Amino acid sequence: MKRVDLSVGVTAHNEGYLAHKTLRCIFECMKKVEEAGYKYEIIINIDRGDKTTKDYLKQYRGDPRFLILDSDFGDLGFSRNNIAQNAKGRFLAFIDADDLVSFNWYIAAINHLSKSKKPLILHPAKELIFGTDLRPVCCNIGSSLDKAGDAMILAGCNRWTSTVFGYRKTFLEYPYMETGGGYGYEDYFFNTETIAGGVRHEIVPETVMFYRRKKVSLLSQSDANKVIQPYTKLLDIDFLKTIAKPKGAEIFDDVETEKKKKHEYEPTEFSKKLPTLMQKPYLMMRNNRKINTIIIPVAKGIKKIMKHDDKKDAQGKDYSGIFNIPDFLISAWKDMNKIEPQLFPSSYILKHEFSFYYTDGLNRKVGPALWYLAQEIPKKPDYIFIVPWLIPGGSEKVLLNYVDAISRVHPEWTVAVITTEKSKNEWKNKLGKNAYLVDFGNVASKLDRIEKDFLFSRLITQLGAKRLHVIQSDYGYKWLADHTQLIQSNYHLNVSTFCNGFIEHDDGTTEVCGYIDPRLFEIYPVVERIFTDNRSVINYIRELDGYVDDKKFRVHYQPVEISKAGQRATEDDGCCRIMWASRISRQKQPELINKIANTLERKHPGKYKIDVYGEVDKNEYKANPIKKSSVVERKGGFSNFSDLPTSEYDIFLYTAKYDGLPNILIEAASQKMPIVASNEGGISELIGDGRGVLVDNYESAEAFVQAIERLNEDNRLAVKCGEAIYELVEKRHSYSAFDDVIRKDIKDE
């Protein structure tokens, strides 16, 4: 058997005659390899190749230098593994059948690796991206740092190209992953796993890869539905906890710390060079936002004119010098012109079209952000909720009900609650001992959109749980819609939805919006269960979007603590006391309360009193919309309904213009309170059939007044309504009943 020193593996698919250019490049490279006395073989793996590609490569099937492998993997990673398993060389190099390398690449890589006592993975020092009608861009590639440093960079980008060189046994020890099912890319996984295993990656000085970006490829097909990187040992949560606080993580410290830092006027290298008396005024100007709106654009313009760039990599190292084009790149670029006419560094291209970037500088905040989140993750969860925030509210109460029920039904499970929006998350302390908050929303507020998506994808993957549950998170819905293939192949997805909402515009028009359509509509095929708190929303969804699959829908009537007290008793002083309690938002029509109060005062002076409990939604109202009068008064906010003095009131009033089946009404019912409420959404499932008074015309103050008068004037009716609604809540909204449906619908699968 002939000796083979170097195996060159070529992955082919539908490159057609572009493969000819790649092979011509390899032949040029092999001249230097043979001159140095090394023997080589070329192994081509044709994976689901098209006719043009297969026909072109037929000519090499009888060539003793070649081994042609045919496969039906449909997978780049498996193609590379197949080559590694069939290779005979001590060294193994990979290249795709449409890419090119500088003619010194293979011999330089052999010499570099031969000098090392440890296994290495080698990469070209530069990656020049080109293509038809594409301006050339050069990527500068760096060698490994330490394991922690590589982790911080690889969390946000793939540091190294798919053109690699190493010992064959290294590729056998660290096989490429299978792509598909929403996961990619095979070279990213290989890079992270080798780093996790202690294999160092290095660049080979003065070598270049020419990466052809074309419109159709096996990779771009998988990218039609965005892929994410799979779990990797390098970014394991427990490993991240062992890393010292990385550079860049300080921007995720709490707001108070940031404010303090702003006013400490921290010195800079420039300020240190100034006279002592000038340093503080300079720093005050630098930290003044208004002044900077003028100074920064001017400074950037001056830097551009002077061709100065002070960008730094993830470790703070200055890499402004990369914008000086090295001679070896120009030389390799010119050499490649005889193989690929698209490649030639004309003076016009170099002056007007050519640009650089640095892999280590891409998405640099993602790694520190992931590290920051990891510090607060006690263990990997079994179930993940994705919610906008944890603040006092109805959907947040639903979340807490689910978390508590899971802890009772599955006490061995751990639950993670990921917030997706910036918020104070006042209710985070309400999570039980088996649950914890992942404050993604506040951390991600420091990132741009691309960084945010990188971080969220990495977080979901590294947490490892295969059960996801989205409640009212717009970002969560959007991310899921971008990754339906991933969800369908790898996750069990539940969604909770309660009703559609409305946006009131200044011109008086109303826009239907919410999570049902288009958010739920976009991901409906990959959702396993749709949980609601009322049946009316199911009918609405079916009417809106035509769904016929009954198996996906589940009604989970929310539980409450049921009081065992007897019939309520209020002070008999001739005044009817009314409680209104909820979040003060446009949805709840707080302005209508003022109209109801005015009508009651006009018709029955001194006979009615309305107390309003709740926090004002500051996103919707700049000032409190409740106008204090002889009838109505706002009493302030509340955290728990049980803290409110319900026994002091005769009637509970609820004025929402759209809703599902709000928890606040169930809680009022558990106190045997007679209720007057809008006949909207699922409210009739609780209040109807003699269990209270429903108001059909829920935008009319007079209609509400008539309902209030009816209950106040007929004490027997009020008592009957209170008893009847209490009986329903006791039967349908107990914690034991809720646990039964959770046990059935959220289980090990």
pLDDT band for position 317 (50/70/90)? Answer: very low
Please answer whether residues 653 and 614 qualify as being in contact, where contact means their C-beta atoms are separated by less than 8 angstroms.
Answer: no
Poorest-pLDDT segment among 330-344, 389-403, 551-565: 551-565
Question: Mind listing the pLDDT tens digit for each residue in 659-702?
Answer: 989 999 999 999 999 999 999 989 999 998 899 999 999 999 99
Q: Hey, what are 42's tokens?
A: 């070329």
Q: pLDDT tier at 320 (50, 70, 90 boundaries)?
A: very low
Domain 576-733: CATH superfamily is Glycogen Phosphorylase B; (3.40.50.2000)
Measured CA to CA, the distance from residue 415 to residue 443 in angstroms comes to 20
pLDDT of residue 426: 92
Element (H, E) at 742: helix 735-745
Q: Which DSSP helix (H) or strand (E) runs through 417?
A: strand 415-419
- For residue 157, the tally of other CB atoms under 10 A from its CB is 18
Residue found by looking up tokens 């290249």 in the block: 95
Q: Is residue 630 within 8 Å of 601, Cβ to Cβ?
A: yes
| Separation CA 741–CA 747 (nearest Å) | 10
pLDDT score, position 504: 65
Query: Residue 262 pLDDT more than 70?
Result: no
How many Cα atoms are found within 13 Å in the side-chain-facing hemisphere of 620? 17
Q: What interhelical angle do 276-286 and 289-305 show, nearest 10?
A: 100
Please say if the pLDDT value at position 281 is more than 70: no
Phi, psi of 418 (to 5 degrees): -95, 120
CB atoms within 10 A of CB 226: 17
Q: What is the pLDDT of residue 570?
A: 63
pLDDT tens profile 593-616: 999 999 999 999 999 999 999 999
Measured CA distances, 283 to 248, 257, 289 (Å): 21, 18, 12
- Report the topology of domain 376-555: Rossmann fold (3.40.50)
Range in 6-15, 89-98, 210-219, 573-582 with the lowest mean pLDDT: 210-219
> What are the φ/ψ torsions at residue 376 (nearest 5 degrees)?
-105, 10
The residue type found at 377 is I
Q: What are phi and psi of 279, to 5 degrees?
A: -65, -50
pLDDT bracket for residue 465 (50, 70, 90): very high
Burial 19-49 (b: 16+ CB within 10 A, else e): bebbbebbebbbebbeeeebebbbbbbbbbb
Q: How far apart are CA 197 and CA 206, in angstroms?
A: 27
Residue 518: cis peptide before it, omega within 30 degrees of 0 = yes
Structure tokens at 147: 């394991």
6-242: CATH topology is Spore Coat Polysaccharide Biosynthesis Protein SpsA; Chain A (3.90.550)
Structural contact between residues 368 and 252, judged by C-beta atoms closer than 8 angstroms: yes
Q: How confident is the model at residue 749 (pLDDT cuts 50, 70, 90)?
A: low
Within a 10 A sphere around the Cβ of 747, how many other Cβ atoms? 11
- pLDDT at residue number 724: 96
Position 566 pLDDT exceeds 80: no
Which of these ranges, 357-371, 470-484, 508-522, 551-565, has the smallest mean pLDDT? 508-522
Report, in angstroms and rounded to the nearest whole number, the Rg of the chain calculated over CA atoms: 33
Helix (H) or strand (E) holding 387: strand 383-387
In the chain, pLDDT over 70 holds for what percent of residues? 86
Supply the DSSP string of 91-146, one letter for each residue. Answer: EEEEEETT-EE-TTHHHHHHHHHHT-SS-EEEEEEEEEEEETTEEEEEEE------
Residue 215 is inside which H or E element, if any? none
Residues 198, 170 contacting (CB under 8 angstroms): no
- For the entire predicted model, the pTM comes to 0.84
Both tokens of 91, joined, read 């060294």
Domain ranges of the chain: 6-242, 376-555, 576-733
Residues 348, 394: Cα–Cα separation, whole Å: 62
Please state, as a whole number, how many other Cβ atoms lie within 10 Å of the Cβ of residue 424: 11
Q: Give the 3-state secondary structure of residue 703.
A: helix
- Give the per-residue pLDDT at 503: 65
Pairing of strands 632-636, 693-695: unpaired
Measured in residues, the chain has a length of 749
Residue 134 scores a pLDDT above 70: yes
Tell me if domain 376-555 and domain 576-733 are identical in fold. Answer: yes
340 pLDDT band, cuts 50/70/90, is very high
What is the rounded distance in angstroms from the CA atom of residue 114 to the CA atom of residue 567? Answer: 89
Average pLDDT over residues 37-63: 97
- Tell me which H or E stretch contains 436: strand 435-438
Determine contact, residues 435/352, Cβ cutoff 8 Å: no
Per DSSP, what are the bridge partners of residue 105? none
* Average model confidence (pLDDT) across the chain: 88
The interaxial angle of helices 186-196 and 76-86, nearest 10 deg, is 60
For every residue of 159-208, which 3-state class applies, written as one string? CCCCCEEEEHHHHHHCCCCCCECCECCHHHHHHHHHHHCCCEEEEEEEEE
Whether the pLDDT of residue 296 is over 60: the answer is no
For 281, the 3-state DSSP assignment is: helix
Q: Which token pair is 69? A: 């492998």
Backbone CA torsion sign across 708, 714, 718, 720:
negative
Residue 13 near residue 44 (C-beta atoms within 8 A):
no
